[in-house]
Copies of this chain bind each other. A is one copy, B any other.
């Protein structure tokens, strides 16, 4: 068994013999003519790094017998034209040496990069990965370099990553997910974003419009409100809510929106039946447990603030032998594609997650908004499925 833990034998010269067009540096130099002391010194130093061969533009220029300038002009497609002959010679040299431009150096020289930082709370959460997928799709196509960070840590982690992106002189940063109501941390984050923006970067936020930057704004409250109304129309009256984490704004919006929807039909919720829990399968499971443990009449419908929580709740109900929807209704939020096949099919509010990611990417590419940040509202669509079906009492 090849166990990586083992100390490992001595490092031998593994350098895997030269491939077809893998001309060595030495070879290139014999053909090149110039022998400035500067280059000699460099090569001397290079020797230390054993077989690591870094080909530079100078090497290409030497081999093609042109100046560095010309080589650069051929490779970076600027406005300046170069004669056919030389273009060909340069390209040939590039191929022969296996040269690739050093993008870092180019970024330093031009002062612009094509890196985009993306911050999600947890990439393994399908909510985020769906958004990220849309984002990456567009970004890849536009030859942007997407850097991803998973910051379960919250605002602190986000702040830190934005700072990192500023250091990287990234072109843009996209924050996905909800913020909490912690004003101090929020201020920190805003400050960092401000610094990022004023150093020339673009910032986009998906989820909330409170960072003072362009935002993609899912209509959590409105969506939840519509859902609430729809559930009342379906005949449900006694509700429980598995709200998200206390203080998380998305959770709050969905809760208040939902309650407003019920209130529109004069239905209210016993505050004890509003249970907070994390936006996760386990959070839903536990919150559901809490609800079940409570005395009093069992609610006839449960609203989980996210589909993922709903799945947890479903598991808990199943464990208890409570049937959905026969014994109790269950609704979620997000309409995650991954969960579209759970049984029974979940009533939920659909958000076009991949689209939201795409929109964010496009917002990044668009010109920075002139005076005030752009805010793109994204409506949610209530999808009624079996999980809240009101079955005839006869059966």
Contacts and interface: CB of A to CB of B under 8 A. Distances in A.
Oligomer: number of copies? 2
B200 A54 contact: yes
Interface in A52-70: 52-55
A200 B318 CA distance: 54
Contacts of A359: 4
Given A133-B122, A133-B150, A371-B9, A100 B166 contact: yes
Interface stretch (A82-90, A217-225, A271-279, A290-298): A217-225
A113 B123 contact: no
B146 A371 contact: no
A341 interface: yes
A124 interface: yes
A60 B199 CA distance: 16
A53 B2 contact: no
A5 B123 contact: no
Contacts of A262: none
A1 B260 contact: yes
Interface in A351-369: 354, 359, 362-363, 366-369
15 contacts: A2-B221, A2-B256, A2-B375, A2-B376, A9-B371, A19-B191, A53-B199, A100-B166, A101-B167, A104-B104, A104-B108, A124-B354, A126-B129, A140-B150, A338-B339
